[in-house]
Amino acid sequence: MAAPKLIRRQEYEYVSYELLGEDAIRRLERVRERLGVPVFRFYRTNAQAQQYVGAVRAGNVTIQILPKIYDQEKHNLGFLIFLLRYTRKLRLKQAGLTDYEKLRSSFLEIWIRHFASELNRLLRTQPKHRYVEVEERTGFLRGKLLTERELAGTATLTARHACRYEIFTPDHLLNQVLKFCNNLLLSQAETSFTKTILEENAARLAEVSDLRVGPGDLARVHLNRLDQEYDPLLAMCRLLVEGYTPGMEMGEVEQLAFVFNMNALFEEFVAEFLRRHRDRIELDGSRQLVKVERQRVLGKLFGEFDMKDDLILEDDQGDRFLVDTKYKVLDPAADHAGLSQGDFYQMYAYARAGKGNYREIFLLYPATEALVEGDFNQDDLTIRVRQFDPRKIYDPDTGRLNVKNTAEELSRALSGKLLG
């Protein structure tokens, strides 16, 4: 079978129906319905990517959607993997650009290779056997005799006893989930080395029963203290099971999607960086950031609806202010420079929510080109629109976080100083 066609796009770019084909279009619509999020918007002749980045496989077409930060695709791919690692959405290993090129610079193939390698490592070093309870009729007493069942069936089953006992076996739910996911990805992998690893995993799990896994099965998997190294793999299994549409046969895949909301990733990165490095954030040169709170309920709207901010920050003088992160590109040529009226309504409601009123709110936006900043005053409330350059977060040559540059960018943005 021919390798799926890989179509590469960035956020909000279009892909023509002619390039996709009718079958892929129908499958993409089903992906949207299954995930319940607008991964694409469909128009008369094109489908438009939205703020969801990652990969979607629909039949013989794979669409890869990356953030629109750098000029080079490989840098955007590295940036996405960095964000997923930093926010703990996925514990993908940060590799060099050469390693990405070996995997066709395909996010899906990188995802599969990581799963295959991590599962292989654990099966080699920490294979899991568990005690599993079995009920069956045996020719001798074993474990606990099921008296009621024994009395009900001895007339036709001479010298056989209904018993319940435990066996120590690799054939348990955790391994059944891992085997299912490994075999599912074996049908999707494209590079020969990745397939070899997945095939070795399948051989190591040969004694494990085949189970067609659904979300309910994953909910029944419970890891004990000794199983915690399997937790990242189990998280990947959840993403896989939630993102694929099964075919009629065991292991058959109609659609497969691994997508992440860039709005949420950007917000979570800012919150996580401030939490980890608050001692490096200087507010107007004299105040120091000392406390970071995330997703706190500010109050009730009409007594019914929780109002949650992104961040509440507190400095060393006891002053508190709100920060709301928006993954939007502002345009100085647009009406109100692209600022949303709805965002300002939201911030005004946040400032007046609950018992404590906030007099200062920061709306924080990314900026790679034209800068739009300003202060907006209403009554005793000041909303400060600030931006910082996401290209300074990550060093594409090393694949690492640039702590110094990021701290400087956020310190300047949150100090109230305007650029220029």
Rounded to whole angstroms, the Cα distance separating 411 from 158 reads 81
Specify whether 235 is located in the same domain as 311.
Answer: no
Rounded to whole angstroms, the Cα distance separating 380 from 357 reads 10
Specify the DSSP class assigned to residue 241.
H
Is 267 within the bounds of a domain? Answer: no
Number of H helices, E strands in the chain: 13, 22
DSSP 107-125: HHHHHHHHHHHHHHHHHHH
Is 270 within the bounds of a domain? Answer: no
Is 419 within the bounds of a domain? Answer: no
**Long-range contacts (CB closer than 8 Å, 24 or more residues apart) made by 287-296:** 287/315, 287/316, 287/317, 287/319, 288/315, 288/316, 289/313, 289/314, 289/315, 289/316, 289/414, 290/314, 290/315, 290/316
The predicted structure's pLDDT at residue 329:
81
Asked if residues 343 and 363 have their Cβ atoms less than 8 Å apart, the reply is yes
Specify whether 281 is located in the same domain as 349.
Answer: yes
The predicted structure's pLDDT at residue 270:
92
Specify whether 12 is located in the same domain as 107.
Answer: yes
191 vs 202, more confident = 202
The predicted structure's pLDDT at residue 201:
96
Specify whether 147 is located in the same domain as 206.
Answer: no
The predicted structure's pLDDT at residue 302:
54
Rounded to whole angstroms, the Cα distance separating 386 from 201 reads 49
Residue 248 banded pLDDT, cuts 50, 70, 90: very low
Q: Among 153, 4, 52, which Cα is nearest to 145's?
A: 153
Residue 3 banded pLDDT, cuts 50, 70, 90: low
Q: Among residues 198, 232, 261, which one ends one of the domains?
A: 261
Q: Looking at the predicted structure, is the pLDDT value of residue 124 above 70?
A: yes
Is 183 within the bounds of a domain? Answer: yes
Is 42 within the bounds of a domain? Answer: yes
Is 266 within the bounds of a domain? Answer: no
The predicted structure's pLDDT at residue 44:
92
For residue 419, the surrounding DSSP H or E stretch is none
Specify whether 55 is located in the same domain as 104.
Answer: yes
pTM for this entry: 0.82
What range does the domain containing 161 cover?
130-169
Residue 412 banded pLDDT, cuts 50, 70, 90: confident
Specify whether 115 is located in the same domain as 204.
Answer: yes
Specify whether 155 is located in the same domain as 76.
Answer: no
The predicted structure's pLDDT at residue 9:
94
Q: Looking at the predicted structure, is the pLDDT value of residue 244 above 90?
A: no
Q: Among 315, 291, 305, 414, which Cα is nearest to 354's?
A: 305
Q: Looking at the predicted structure, is the pLDDT value of residue 274 above 70?
A: yes
In the block, residue with structure tokens 């005690």: 131
Specify whether 35 is located in the same domain as 148.
Answer: no
DSSP 178-197: HHHHHHHHHTT--SHHHHHH
Rounded to the nearest 10 degrees, how much is the dihedral formed by the CA atoms of 364, 369, 370, 374?
A: 20
Token reading at 32: 């949207």
Q: Report the percent of the chain where pLDDT is more than 90.
A: 27
Rounded to whole angstroms, the Cα distance separating 145 from 163 reads 5
Q: Looking at the predicted structure, is the pLDDT value of residue 345 above 90?
A: no
Q: Looking at the predicted structure, is the pLDDT value of residue 92 above 70?
A: no
Specify whether 184 is located in the same domain as 75.
Answer: yes
Q: How many domains does the chain have?
A: 3
Specify whether 121 is located in the same domain as 142.
Answer: no
Q: What's the whole-number average pLDDT of the chain? A: 83
- The number of residues making up the chain comes to 420
Specify whether 242 is located in the same domain as 164.
Answer: no
- How many CB atoms sit inside 10 A of residue 179's CB? 24
Q: Among residues 261, 292, 323, which one ends one of the domains?
A: 261
Specify the DSSP class assigned to residue 414.
H
- How many CB atoms sit inside 10 A of residue 362's CB? 22
Q: Among 104, 249, 122, which Cα is nearest to 183's?
A: 249
28 vs 88, more confident = 28
Specify the DSSP class assigned to residue 418.
P
Q: Among residues 196, 226, 261, which one ends one of the domains?
A: 261
List pLDDT tens digits, range 151-196.
565 545 555 777 777 778 888 899 999 999 999 999 888 889 999 9
Q: Among 292, 369, 355, which Cα is nearest to 323's?
A: 292
Is 26 within the bounds of a domain? Answer: yes
Distances (CA, A) of 416 to 24, 294, 320, 363, 383: 49, 21, 14, 11, 10
Specify whether 59 is located in the same domain as 178.
Answer: yes
The predicted structure's pLDDT at residue 152:
60
What lies within 8 Å, CB to CB, of 160 at 6+ separation is 137, 138, 139, 154
**Out of 46-60, 263-277, 333-347, which region has the weakest mean confidence (pLDDT)?**
333-347
List pLDDT tens digits, range 381-394.
888 899 888 999 98
Average pLDDT over residues 59-79: 90
Average pLDDT over residues 232-249: 80
399 vs 306, more confident = 399
Rounded to whole angstroms, the Cα distance separating 56 from 258 reads 6
Q: Report the percent of the chain where pLDDT is more than 70.
A: 82
The predicted structure's pLDDT at residue 47:
95
The predicted structure's pLDDT at residue 304:
53
Asked if residues 169 and 129 have their Cβ atoms less than 8 Å apart, the reply is yes
Is 420 within the bounds of a domain? Answer: no
Q: Among 279, 348, 350, which Cα is nearest to 312's?
A: 350
Q: Among 189, 178, 174, 176, which Cα is nearest to 256's?
A: 189
